[in-house]
Amino acid sequence: MDPIRIAVVGMGKIARDQHLPAISGNPNFNLAATVSPNHGGEPGIPHFKTLDELLESSTGVDAVSLCTPPQVRYELAVSALRAGMHVFLEKPPGATLSEVVALTARADKVGTSLFASWHSRFAAGVAPARAWLSERVIKDVKIIWREDVREWHPGQDWIWEPGGLGVFDPGINALSILTHIMPSPVFLNTATLSLPANRAAPIAADIQFRDTAGTPIHMDLDWRQVGPQSWDIIVETDAGQLKLSNGGAVLSLPSGVERNEDMEYPGLYARFATLIRGGRSDVDLDPLRLVADAFLRGKRQSVEEFHD
């Protein structure tokens, strides 16, 4: 079976650190092209300033990974789908729920695969956590997701603009895990969003969720953390405590601690290949829906200005 010829659109840090190595390590894919107006390409690989330039060229491409900021992703995805390409959407899958729904319908109509990727779901501890919780009574959940924005998103102004999500850019990773491991659907009760006086997106958020079984879920998001970073989900059950730490990479159970190799992006590309070979799509909007609910229902408070 011939490899899937894939182009990476948007050659920033996430593309170089995660996408390119995952593609290189998967025999189902062959990197056919890169696209970026601001960054160079890879040695020996055709590079284009825009997706339109790629589509107008003679370079053969079957699929694209869209690693751009979400605010500009919809039009790129439409162009790719119109050209009959399979589309991988880096998280979050779009700037709004409605545009991702529209993309899903378009992909179904043209018969190509659309993949709304949630890389944290492929962290080593997530699948076994989901399996363990499926047989337990869950009493309480706490999410502590605190990091230093200056370390992880230096100079990325788009992330503070409408549609850039602010602190929910990392926070949606926690929600992608939460909605995957919880046996019952989750919804928002209350939220307080802290917005710097000079920014349009929050730098912190305090949120109360619960699931349809009545389980209380508290989420503490903050981009002002210094020192050790915190990416933890703690679940109290009738059989003891489950803890996912380091973004889901480490699973702690009453029976002990499990640590396995980080396979998030390799796992995403294995899933994308399976979808393409099987003629299917995978577009789960639950994490983005919870973020939208926080913006819809959340109380906003102004905090001190943020400057890089």
Lookup result for tokens 């869209």:
66
The overall longest dimension of the chain from CA atoms, in Å, is 60
Quote the distance between the C-alpha of residue 19 and its chain's center.
13
Task: Determine contact, residues 22/266, Cβ cutoff 8 Å.
Answer: yes
User: Which of 13, 49, 91, 243 does the annotation list as catalytic?
Assistant: 91
Active site residue 13: no
Beta strands in the chain (DSSP E): 4-9, 29-35, 47-48, 63-66, 86-89, 114-116, 138-146, 186-196, 204-211, 216-222, 230-237, 240-245, 250-253, 256-259, 299-303
Which residues are catalytically annotated? 91
